[in-house]
Chain A
Amino acid sequence: MDILSYVLQQGINGLQLGAVYALIALGYTMVYGVLRLINFAHGDIFMFGAFVAYFLIAKFGIPIYLVFIITMLACAIAGYLIEKIAYKPLRDAPKISLLITAVGVSLFLEYFLSLNAIFTPNYIAFPRPFDVKGYDLSLFTITNVQIIIFIITFVSLFLLYLLIYRTNYGRAMRAVSHDKETAALMGIGIDGIISFTFIVGASLAGVGGILYGIAYPQINVFMGIMPGIKSFIAAVLGGIGIIHGAVIGGLIIGICEVFVSAFLSSTFRDGVIFIILFAVLLFKPSGILGKRIEKV
């Protein structure tokens, strides 16, 4: 009984982390879909979101629902600008140039924002907008933070689902990610859809940043690196380019990480995730839901 409740408890904790990874992984996978690019700067958008939320809460005392809206807007603008400035001029360049640029954008954001005048390189305590309360459900405890993370992630995923499967823009996005040239022949403005994809992906990363700040209340300009890489691995695990895959991958990675910390040692936490990446690339490079292997 004890071990069961321990496993369940860790499972809940894993889902909490996995939900955040899923939100970030979606951005990787959607951008990959339309541009065949691994946007390495995506983890930094997540960090940017956490900082925007920090300033809104700590300095301006803005109500939490407004924090979500403003942070998503700020991240959307950041994502839009990154695509416009850094990636769009390389539309016809070799893919490798785009990839190297993405690494450059990521490093630029991290080191530029770590200037003392901006976010500083220090760890900053993220103010919790409410007190943490635990609810004992006999087998395990769930906190209000976890409940909020689950609800907000679920709502975000549901809205994303509606957007992608029920709107013209979503249909156009799917068409562009399948076949750009034919999409253009339908009268779809490819550049507009690519911008739109960055905007949606960045907004979700912003939500992830806020939730991460609330759950693990210490933020830093380099906080996007590891969650970014892990979410990228989550997207690969689920099948890069596949929306559902990113969610499944994110949850699996989150649970794995927490279980390794709980049952093995937190030292192996990150290493195991990379072993998962190696295993996926070796045995099923197209990921869990992937049907075919994309040529990059």
Chain B
Amino acid sequence: MLLNVQGITVNYGSISALRDVSLWADQGELVSVIGANGAGKTTLLKTVSGILRPAKGNIEFDGRDITRLRPEKIVKSGVVMVPEGRRIFPDLTVKENLELGAYTIKDRHLKKTLFELVITTFPRLKERLKQHGGTLSGGEQQMLAMGRALMGDPRLLLLDEPSMGLSPIITREIFGLIELIRREKSISIILVEQNAHMALEHSQRAYVLENGEIVMEGPSSEIKHNPRIIDAYLGV
């Protein structure tokens, strides 16, 4: 087990955003978390990456307790998050955005290897290295955000709504790339999505989050055919 989240509760003031949430992911596994807006999906990822602190529970990564580590230490240990809405630095060039992703990597040789990897995975970024991040299209920004995360040499990637605001064609392309990253690099991925259809299509296992609690979990192929899920999330 690479990531093991055990019974975390996260509060915003007196409101609890997550209650007793447990989740795990194996090496090289793509796990999706689906749920409506405000179910606590982003809170979950932000807690794993150290931006938010859980009131209860703990988070283990690769057998090590990371619950109380600061975000930069968590990145260093190999957990990198791609935030919702990509959060590209618009005034920095594409190259600078990528270099920032490798902020924790001191080994120049490794940095170079990672850069080559990102450029071959996202060839579209290669033509735009000198452009400002803000000038990219939505799909390109998503690629840049994922490339930037890969520059940190992650073993676990946390993706928050990668399909947000993208056309169905671009969404398919992005999901293809996510699949590629998982397969080729055996990087584990936790994918949070409102687009339940795409998420269940591509993940091995899935969790359903409702009002801050996990209400269902299991293989994606099963969840996909659960009548309640079809009704609530996959309706036509």
Contact = CB atoms under 8 A, between A and B. Distances in A.
Contacts of B116: none
Given A174-B89, A174-B92, A186 B152 contact: yes
A186 B153 CA distance: 11
Interface stretch (A2-10, A88-96, A177-185, A278-286): A177-185
Contacts of A178: 89-92
Interface in A74-114: none
Report whether over half of chain A's contact residues are helix, strand or loop; otherwise say mixed.
helix
B51 A184 contact: yes
Interface residues of A, number: 17
A185 B80 contact: yes
A185 B157 CA distance: 12
User: Which of B51, B72, B75, B91 counts the most A-chain CB atoms under 10 A from its CB?
Assistant: B72
Contacts of A182: 83, 87, 89
Nearest to B101: A186
A16 to B, nearest CB: 32
Interface string A164-182: 0000100110110011011
Contacts, number: 61
A185 to B, nearest CB: 5
Given A185-B71, A186-B148, A186-B152, A179 B87 contact: yes
A218 to B, nearest CB: 42
Contacts of B96: 171
Interface string B75-107: 110001101000101111000100111011000
Interface in A140-194: 168, 171-172, 174-175, 178-179, 181-190
Nearest to B100: A186
Contact of A171 (B76, B87, B100): B100
Contact of A187 (B76, B92, B99): B76
Interface in B166-191: none
Nearest to B49: A185
A285 to B, nearest CB: 20
A75 to B, nearest CB: 27
B91 A174 contact: yes
Contacts of A179: 87, 89
Contact of B92 (A168, A175, A188): A175
Interface of B: 49-51, 70-72, 75-76, 80-81, 83, 87, 89-92, 96, 99-101, 103-104, 148, 152
12 contacts: A171-B99, A178-B91, A184-B72, A185-B51, A185-B71, A185-B75, A185-B81, A186-B75, A186-B148, A187-B76, A187-B103, A188-B100
